[in-house]
Chains A and B, each alone.
Chain A
Amino acid sequence: MDKVMIDLETDLKVMRECCRSGKTKELSWRRSQLKGLQTFLKENEVEIFRALRDDLGKHYVEAFRDEVGLIKKSLNLALKDLQKWMSSREAKLPIFALLSHAELVPEPLGLVLVISPWNFPLALSLEPLLGAIAAGNAVVLKPSELAPACSSLLFNTLPNYLDNETIKVIEGGPAVGEQLLFKKWDKIFFTGSARVGRIVMSAAAKHLTPVTLELGGKCPAVLDSLSWSWDKEVAVNRIIGAKYGSCAGQACVSVDYLLVEKAFSSAVVELMKVLIKKMYGDNPRESQSVGRIVNKRHFLRLKNLLTDKMVKDSIVYGGSMDEDSLFIEPTILVDPPRESTIMTEEIFGPLLPIITLDKIEDSIDFINARPKPLAIYAFTKNETFRRRMVSQTSSGAVVFNDAIIQYAADTIPFGGIGESGIGNYHGKFSFDTFSHYKAVARRSFLTDFWFRFPPWNNYKLELFETAYNYDYFGMLLIILGLKRSRRRFDRRVVKSVEWKRLENLRLTKADDSQLQIGINNGSSSSKYSNDYCLLGIVWKGKKIYREAMIKMLGNLWITKGELTAKEIGENKYFFSFSDKEDFDRIKAGRPCCFDRNLVVLKEFDMDSMEPKEVNFKHEELWIHVIGLPIKLMERETAKVIGNTTDWFITVDGDGGDLKGKYTRIRVLIDLTKPLKRGIMIHMDDGHIKWISFHYERLAKFCFRCGIHEQSCNQPCLDENGTEVQKQYGAFLIASQRRKAVEIKFEGHGQSQWKNSDVHS
């Protein structure tokens, strides 16, 4: 044994060296090894059949169906698709990564260990082996010592067909297995029991070796009460085939137990008896078609399962055993106790317990109460039940109306979950299991975003944000200096006492957000200013989307200093300005409209006021007084006229400036009252003149009653309770503003665009 291990040590060193040299990575090497496997199968078919008969009493048809044939199929597929599998996969990249290129390159893991079981000693050795070869690994295969004929066939014959430097077969029992597990591997692929699976994984942990564990589990078959006799017969045939036909039930994917409805059970049992007879004849022992139990230990284990009296009593068919020839007859049990060993351990033999349920839907709970199986087989035509079975149970695979067949399908992964294993293989999945997908990104030296590098500032932050959001246009705008930073990080904001106060102001938590407008050009105020604050409310409008509102105002107000906007309630906002100039300008620029909704802005002193106290009923507006005789166009008249509204504030212009098409006066109006359309004035000469008012930037108002409101839904009533007809109209909106004012207002912003030094 020691000598074997010393040899192994040197062998492994050579194998690693070969790996490193890149020999196994070559397509030609992989191809030649796969072809070698093909030749091995072709030239040794008879020996293989014989070995399988010796070890397990497998009929050669079964041996071909489950082992040789399947491997041949897998080899064909691997040889056909190998080049496709090996080619790297392009990964999509956003435009952000301009002139970059990324791909996923599959690369071999290195040196892998495959440990295979005795029940399908050939298939379960060669299937992972061919996956490992296809992926370009050096492999050590340890077949099970419990199938000695196959093991020695693999040990003695297989090396003749393969590259012995990189692929080795090692024979031996648990001691050898243990020795092997001490070594460092790049992957361990184990097929066998959960108990040994745990040992393998613990050993793998020492070297951080990834593992694939193909374990078993109690795979249930669920047989719905099928009405058509053809369906019934096919279903039962398939269950019998999957139970007794696959190495006498000694397969990880074979049916372990059967769930049927109580009312249906006797019919099923009768049908089974008939069909078993048809397949295996009156004397199954004589038929070559049923495999034998692998060894005495397993024979005794199965025998023990039946010793419990309650279990024994539940046998309705078969049950005979022959210890000498290790033969167990196909056996059916109906409702053995659910806590008996036969229902808690994986059976792995030709015993089929049938559990009867009241309703077939109960099977889902029954399955979920047990560890996750490798497969669930459900025979049903009920679409809802199928959907439930897929979504509400968990297993390696779900197969409808058939069993075991999923093992042969190479387009779906074969593997377990939970107690039934980790990882999967078959077809391309085998290749993936033995490959590492290496992410490769390539860049050129040409493009480099300077904002990737420190020293950090908020401008760079903004660029990162747009880049991450793939907002290319926004990025462009920022780079060109056309968009301003909306955000900044300032620890002072978090820490300041004012912030704490603000937190208390929040009216609705859900809508709480904070966006800051304006850039920090280094000269901003050192403290979170509370000197210049405004409270704004969208007057009687619908709820306005917060982001839109803040963004829009930000664009409109273009401030020199910082502007912080914060939603403090529905349609209610808090604005704070770091710069007094901005604050004054915005205040003077009232009314503020958003999407033709009036945004009423009020000054707010954080130290002394509560947001609730603020009265939003009034707002300042500019009014054009039209139709005034020229000689009356002077300050005093304006004041008198202004005071007929709620409150006169000022008049635009002075002296001669006042004489124009109209007089522009600023007044405070009550928003809850109808708009004044104008007034009558008594002229000195006795006649009466109608002076009309036009409102600048008038928001939506009701054309019937003239009140600032989105729209009056109810009919508008006057003081006497009679319905008002349309009394107002768009004529109240001032057609144009005086040019001089416009320049003064917008011009401020314009200069800002130019002055903004965003390239900090």
Chain B
Amino acid sequence: MAREVEKKAVFDTDSAKEVVKELRASFVAGKTKSYEWRVAQLKALLKMTEENEPQIAAALRDDLSKPELESYIYEIAMLKNSCRLALKEMKRWIMPEKAKTSLTTFPSSAEIVSEPLGVVLVISAWNYPFLLSLDPVVGAIAAGNAVVLKPSEIAPATASLLAKLVANYLDSSCIKVVEGAVSETSALLEKKWDKIFYTGNGRVARIVMAAAAKHLTPVVLELGGKSPVIVDSGINLQVATRRIIAGKWGCNNGQACISPDYIITTKDYAPKLLDSFKRELEQFYGKNPLESKDLSRIVNSNHFARLSKLLDEDKVSGKIVHGGERDKNNLKIAPTILLDVPLDSLIMNEEIFGPLLPIIMVDKVEDSFDVINSSGTKPLAAYLFTNKEKLKEKFVATVSAGGLVVNDTTVHLAEHTLPFGGVGDSGMGAYHGKFSFDAFSHKKAVLYRGFACDAFVRYPPYTRRKLRLLQALLGGSLLSIIRALLGWS
């Protein structure tokens, strides 16, 4: 804490100003625009990750008791992947895109040039503190921006490791890490950025966007939401259960933005589903899940208290049908399933972000779409397990969410050909793969014209004949142009 206090005294608006000034100078000098710089930085980032895998895993263990394998799969390997992909594809991404031109502007050629936005700010979250910090940075670098990264103070070990590593491996005149909490973030937000990329919750997102509005800064907001899982009957129950467990408890013990938040299933099927959960959970995490090394802990006591409150609410506490064990000292909560919780309870009205999984029961599986849509908010992801084609089509057509997955959970995150991002309350803008590059690029329209063929109709004095010609020109029909020129129409 002492270190924190000291920092606060040091990093204020002026320091933020200095940081931005330095980075802007580097950007204006054109340093970040060169292809070589981008490649060198991405390679350095890759090397940094490769060489420090044990340290990264150790930091994540300190912050979240994250199992090493989870750290590796969901953070380290994913980041390495996006670095590699960017290195491989960047040449293609930065190529101007040729655009067709129409008769209206004939003769001309046009292209869409991707240009870096400038100096961008990335504010990341604590649940995947490594990946969510550096994955946007990969996109920002690939697009040629100077970057300030503000990792979450709630994952302090990772934050300070990031600060150290980034300073050692990357070009510090263009890429900087600023550690800190609310006051540092506010100081940063006061400055003018060319893009703000925020991952976190809706409350802070509103503050970020309002701050961005002052400078007309575009924002990407990656938020969360209550991502539902609909389970239909007549499916391969074991596979479905395993996939839900992998997405819920296997992703940082439910503390992930795309984790399944609640399950909707039919009244008849719920008992079967519950049995299957009990069986598989024991197989994965043993008889005493609080001891399991394969489960993350709750990040801090605030969140622990929040989750406890959700469980202790009167109308909810009786609904626990599996788990419910808590270990306050080690901040551990066992995988907990609640059956038939009322829709007006706390747990059903805020994002759970923890190892609690309520099951909602409906009469017909088709009713579940109404349950999702009537909440009025759009989740980041929605999942459906079914074998019925009709139901799948209806699901895709009626449920609005950042991403939909049929018969699995969370896998869309790993696909770089799919944009990852929310809609409505779950955020705006998307990234991953080329979408990351696009998120940090400005698509500049460039139109080339010669001096030949200057249509006199464009200029005053205006006459009726010019009107007719224009009508023909904008109509795009060659025949009518000729007719208008000949004065036949």
Contacts and interface: CB of A to CB of B under 8 A. Distances in A.
A280 B461 contact: yes
A69 interface: yes
A512 interface: yes
Given A61-B463, A396-B445, A206 B105 contact: no
Interface in B379-433: 387, 392, 396-398, 400-408, 411-412, 414-415, 417-420, 423-425, 427-430
B404 A441 contact: yes
A489 B205 CA distance: 36
B461 A245 contact: no
Contacts of B414: 468
B433 to A, nearest CB: 10
Contacts of A494: 54-55, 58
Interface in A59-100: 59-62, 64-65, 69-70, 72-73, 76, 91-93, 97, 100
A343 B57 CA distance: 56
Interface stretch (B123-131, B340-348, B451-459): B451-459
Given A97-B411, A287-B460, A441-B412, A208 B424 contact: yes
Interface in A227-273: 228, 230-231, 234-235, 237-238, 240-241, 245
A235 B419 contact: no
Contacts of B213: 198, 201-202, 204-205
Contacts of B476: 73, 76
A408 interface: yes
A18 B486 CA distance: 50
Given A289-B460, A412-B99, A494-B55, A418 B216 contact: yes
B110 A412 contact: yes
Contact of B459 (A230, A237, A391): A237
B40 interface: no
B474 A72 contact: yes
B305 interface: no
A279 B459 contact: yes
Interface string B241-282: 011011001100000000000000000000000000000000
From B284, B412, B419, B459, residue with most partner A Cβ within 10 Å:
B459
B7 to A, nearest CB: 27
B77 interface: yes
B210 to A, nearest CB: 4
Contacts of B67: 454, 456
Interface string A462-480: 0011001100000000000
A105 B242 CA distance: 27
A287 B387 CA distance: 72
A507 interface: no
Interface residues of B, number: 120
A61 B216 contact: no
Interface string B449-489: 11100100011111110110011001110000000000000
Contacts of A413: 112, 443, 445
A634 interface: no
Contacts of B61: 491
A421 B412 CA distance: 32
Interface stretch (A442-450, A536-544, A637-645): A442-450
Interface string A416-457: 011101111000000000001111111111001000111111
Interface stretch (A7-15, A398-406, A550-558, A611-619): A398-406
Contact of A397 (B30, B84, B444): B444
A417 B407 CA distance: 41
From B54, B100, B424, B462, residue with most partner A Cβ within 10 Å:
B462
Given A205-B210, A280-B460, A437 B419 contact: yes
From A279, A408, A469, residue with most partner B Cβ within 10 Å:
A408
A436 B212 CA distance: 22
A465 B403 contact: no
Contact of B400 (A386, A401, A408, A436): A436
A464 B392 CA distance: 29
B115 interface: yes
B10 interface: no
B412 A400 contact: no
A405 B473 CA distance: 13
B461 A289 contact: yes
Given A208-B205, A491-B61, A411 B102 contact: yes
B72 interface: yes
Contact of B242 (A93, A206, A228, A448): A448
Contacts of B404: 105, 438-441
Nearest to A25: B397
A424 B443 contact: yes
A409 B104 contact: yes
A673 interface: no
Interface string B40-80: 00000000001101110110010000011110110001101
From B206, B236, B412, residue with most partner A Cβ within 10 Å:
B412
Given A65-B470, A287-B460, A397-B445, A230 B427 contact: no
B146 interface: no
A107 interface: yes
Given A205-B210, A392-B30, A489-B57, A402 B447 contact: yes
B113 interface: yes
B328 interface: no
B444 A396 contact: yes
B194 to A, nearest CB: 7
19 contacts: A61-B466, A92-B417, A97-B415, A110-B424, A204-B213, A206-B210, A237-B454, A289-B461, A289-B462, A392-B30, A394-B442, A406-B105, A409-B101, A438-B404, A440-B406, A444-B407, A453-B250, A456-B67, A513-B50
- Which 9 residue pairs of A and B lie closest in terms of their CB atoms, listed nearest first? A289-B460, A61-B462, A456-B69, A201-B213, A205-B209, A412-B445, A439-B403, A397-B445, A69-B474
Interface of A: 20, 22, 25, 59-62, 64-65, 69-70, 72-73, 76, 91-93, 97, 100, 102, 104-105, 107, 109-110, 186, 194, 197-198, 201-202, 204-206, 208, 210, 213, 215, 228, 230-231, 234-235, 237-238, 240-241, 245, 279-281, 287-290, 368, 386, 390-392, 394-402, 405-406, 408-414, 417-419, 421-424, 436-445, 448, 452-458, 460-461, 464-465, 468-469, 489, 491, 493-494, 512-513
Given A441-B415, A448-B242, 11 more contacts: A76-B475, A202-B214, A208-B425, A279-B461, A405-B449, A438-B396, A444-B407, A454-B69, A464-B69, A489-B57, A494-B55
